[in-house]
Each structure stands twice: as structure tokens, then as C-alpha cells.
Amino acid sequence: MTVDDPTGATADARSARRIVVDEQQDGRRLDVVLADELGVSRNAAVQRIDSGGVTVGGRPARRSRSVVAGEVIEVPEVAADPVVDAPPLPPVRHRDEHLLVVAKPPGLVVHPGAGHTGDTLVDALREAGVPLAEGGDATRPGIVHRLDRDTSGLLIVACTPEAMEGLVAMLAERRVVRRYLALLVGTPPEPRGVVDAPIGRHPVRRTRFAVVDGGRAARTRYRVLGEGEVTTADGALRTVSSVVCGLESGRTHQIRVHLDAVGAPVAGDPVYGTDRPVATALGIDRPALHAAHLAFEHPVTGEPISLTEPLPDDLASAWSRAGLDRPVGTEEP
């Protein structure tokens, strides 16, 4: 079952999501465990519990209750989201019977989840009649990797089981080249480097991620392509830098978290290291991050596929405002 509404408004008691407490969760508060499992903020989890219906071991439980390994938490299914029209299919840059590559625009969520049903890339693909391979999660057919909602650029979609299996293996074995272009506030400490730091949920702000002990291994390579300047509304001169990044893992918000961790957050990012004066001077209202280049061998035919997607207009303008040359995305990180 997929929970669609993190606020827990109207519930149908006949259907519920079952969560079995594991050893790592033993002794933790119910609201903390629920926030992790549902991928929502702790406040949203508290609202869900306080609205009634959440049980532990078949009995109603308080938010502060400590859970025990092996116990079963049941969370009522919430009312379905209103039906919305599917978005248009994004531009297709490659297509064959096994897979396609689309140029995702900013603002488009990749797959259904809390607060997004009917308005995602998956819905656009289905509406366009694109066959989608089933994977481990029924809500993410065809999706082998993802982009954040406000990140633009190239995304691979699997149409057949053979492609799905092959692409998942290739990503795990780092045989898919993925390069991103980013405009940063400030400059990383080294002109070229690798950020090798584990990523997990932020210990306090549960909707965010952070570099944390015990997180999942994550590696991001980067190279500074150039430095520029913008003048903010108060007359301050601020340094920004153009970088190309390469992923050696695929954690949620990885590039944004890693670059913020080294003191040079992505410009326009409203979550990590936000700096509104710089974003305003650059004329952007979303993270300046773009998936510019993909290269891989076709998982079924072995054909080499190499695609590059130019910066969209809003980011191209931001680079120009900073006095920076427009990068391509094929540069080595």
C-alpha cells in the first residue's frame, strides 16, 4: 500500500500499511520510526498519529511510545488524492523497444508518492502509451534512477524486463556515466576533488538529508570549470563557480548534500545552504543543477549510447549573468 497524504486527514480503517519494527529501530520513538518509514517530516508523522488509527501490536499508541523489534505498526490508508490530468511527455532524446531517455523539465516529479498522484513523469509515460518495466516498487515502473523534482536533464526509463535488469546492474557496477552541471555559491576548497561521505536523513529535519555517521556510502566527483561574480541587491559582490559533477553512487539529493558539506552549496537551492540574494542576482528560483550527459552501453543490444542535453534557458541565463562560459556537460569531473 502507498500512503498518499502525510497529514493523515481522512482514513479508511479497512486498509492499512503494515510496518514491522526491525532491530535498528528497537527502542526508538514511534513518531521517529514513522517519519523514517513514510519519508515525511516528524511533524507530519505526529499529525498522522494524533489523528487516530495508528496502532502498535493492534492497540492505539502515543507518539512518544518506544517501539520494540518485531512489533507491527499499522498506519491507516488515507483518502485518495484528487484526480489530475497527466502532464505532457517530456522531449524524448532516445527511444527503442527496450528503453527511452527523456529530457526532464524542472518541476516534474519522477514517480508517484506523498502529495503527487497523477502529475508525475510515470503518469506522463503511461498516458503516452509507453510500456514500462515492472521493478521492485509498483509505484515506480520503468524508473531505474531519478532526478529531484527541480533538477532538469536526462533520465533513462526501462520499457522491458531485460532493460530494467541490465540497467539496474549497470548502475550498481558504475557502468553508466552521469555528469551534472551546477552553479555554486562560492567555490569548493579544491579545484578538483572527490567528496566521499555517507548520506542519511538529517537527525533533526527529517525531510532533509545530510552527511551523517552510519549513512549510506556516497561518492561525488567534481571539477571547477570557472569562477564568476554577481552583484546582489545590496551591492555586495559574490563569487559563484561553475562545476561538473560525476556520480559514483545515487543517493537522494547527493550532489546537493555533498557540495553543501564542502561549503559551496548549489545556487538557488531552497533546502541546502540557501542564499536568496545570490539566487535573485542570478535570476533563478530553483537549484542550478542539470543532468547534462549520459553514456552507457545498451543493456540488451550492446550499442553505445551517448547523449548530451544543453542547459535550459533559465540556467543558461544564470551562467551568463555570472560572466561564465556555458558548459557542455561532457567535461571530465
Catalytic residues: 148
Backbone angles phi, psi at 25, to 5 degrees: -90, -5
Cα angle for residues 262, 264, 270 (degrees, 5° grid): 115
**Chain Cα centroid distance, residue 38:** 15
C-alpha cell at 259: 557540495
Which whole-number Å values give the CA distances from 105 to 20, 109, 253, in the listed order? Answer: 37, 9, 17
Distance CA 171, CA 190 (A): 27
Amino acid type, 146 = R
C-alpha cell at 305: 549510447
Beta strands per DSSP E along the chain: 11-20, 55-56, 59-60, 72-78, 92-95, 99-104, 152-158, 177-185, 192-196, 199-201, 209-211, 219-231, 237-247, 289-297, 304-308
**Chain Cα centroid distance, residue 119:** 16
C-alpha cell at 295: 553514456
Q: List % helix, strand, coil for the chain (3-state, nearest 5).
A: 20, 30, 50
